[in-house]
């Protein structure tokens, strides 16, 4: 085993999961950006990330459940549409260019992130019950985008749930818990088509992510609602602008 390569991917996994577990987004987008920069083909990158997410997502789901950050009703409304979207996105990834779709979604998310940031600055973060249809649509779109881009589930779902009135820590915890099942669907589809991913990459991402998961869940549980909303809004803007710059360059 190449120890330096393992430690590099462990560091990537730790940093990505720390952000993802605390803010409900970032694991796939951060990891995918690094793998693509290393010259990894998009489909292979997405396969490696989602295989790792099966393990890191499980650890994150258990951590958020321990800290009671999960809204079970919303979770149940997200999982099945998310898995269906993930399967569809995995099939699209292998057959069609995804850049136009990602440009539209990134632009939409930038606007949503700005709105969340404004809400936090104005201290308008009152929460309400998320409608089932809203959760269904969010899961379907997010699952499709996540498979196509190697990440994006957390960005779409966390921001959308907060925009629909969910309390930030429940949005983050529910997003992370449901992502575990979506990752299984996407990973199984891509692995069946592409074969087994590099085990050194996978082991590094998994080990780093599992170590970070309980720390991130604790942060989500204890950060004030206004601060967490503002951080989610800022993260959505930063990740979306980064995606747009890469797509348009």
Q: What is the pLDDT of residues 101-149, one digit of tens each?
A: 667 666 766 776 777 677 677 765 556 788 888 899 999 999 988 887 6
What is the domain extent for residue 237?
3-248
Over pLDDT 90: what percentage of the chain?
A: 24
Average pLDDT for 8-27 = 83
First-last CA distance in the chain: 36
**Is residue 231's pLDDT more than 90?**
no
Asked if 214 and 56 count as a contact pair (C-beta separation under 8 A), the reply is: no
DSSP 96: S
From residue 170, alpha-carbon distances to 56, 119, 176, 210 in Å are 19, 17, 10, 20
Higher pLDDT, 244 or 58: 58
**pLDDT value at residue 207:** 94
- Does the pLDDT at position 158 exceed 80? yes
Q: What is the pLDDT of residue 174?
A: 95
Mean pLDDT for the stretch of residues 208-233: 83
**Total tally of structural domains belonging to the chain:** 1
Give yes or no for residue 244 having a pLDDT over 60.
yes
* In the predicted structure, residue 196 carries a pLDDT above the cut 70: no
pLDDT of residue 186: 86
Write down the pLDDT at residue 82. Answer: 95
What are the angstrom distances between the C-alpha of 79 and each of 35, 75, 98, 157, 176?
Answer: 27, 6, 23, 11, 11
The pLDDT tens digits for 48-83 are 888 888 898 899 899 999 999 999 999 999 999 999
Indicate the helix (H) or strand (E) that contains 17. Answer: helix 3-23
Residue bearing the bigger pLDDT, 47 or 183: 183
Residue that wins the pLDDT comparison between 168 and 99:
168
Residues above pLDDT 70, as percent of the chain: 84
Of 174, 185, 176, whose CA–CA distance to 74 is shortest?
174
pTM, two decimals, is 0.76
């Amino acid at each position: 085993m190449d120890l330096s390569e393992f430690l590099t991917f462990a560091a990537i996994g730790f940093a990505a999961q720390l952000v993802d577990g605390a803010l409900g987004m970032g694991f796939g987008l951060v990891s995918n950006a690094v793998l693509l920069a290393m010259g990894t083909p998009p489909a292979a990158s997405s396969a490696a990330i989602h295989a790792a997410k099966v393990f890191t997502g499980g650890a994150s789901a258990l951590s958020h459940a321990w800290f009671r950050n999960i809204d079970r009703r919303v979770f149940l409304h997200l999982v099945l549409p998310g898995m269906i979207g993930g399967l569809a996105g995995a099939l699209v990834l292998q057959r069609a260019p995804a850049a136009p779709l990602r440009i539209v979604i990134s632009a939409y998310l930038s606007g949503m992130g700005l709105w969340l940031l404004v809400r936090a600055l104005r201290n308008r973060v009152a929460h309400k019950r998320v409608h089932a249809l809203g959760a269904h649509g969010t899961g379907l779109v997010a699952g499709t985008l996540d498979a196509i881009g190697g990440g994006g589930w957390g960005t779409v779902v966390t921001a959308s749930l907060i925009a629909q009135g969910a309390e930030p820590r429940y949005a983050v915890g529910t997003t992370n818990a449901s992502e575990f099942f979506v990752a299984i669907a996407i990973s199984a589809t891509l692995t069946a088509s592409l074969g087994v991913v590099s085990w050194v990459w996978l082991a590094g991402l998994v080990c780093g992510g599992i170590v970070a998961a309980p720390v991130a869940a604790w942060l989500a549980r204890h950060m004030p609602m206004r601060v967490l909303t503002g951080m989610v809004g800022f993260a959505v803007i930063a990740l979306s602008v980064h995606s747009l710059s890469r797509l348009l360059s």
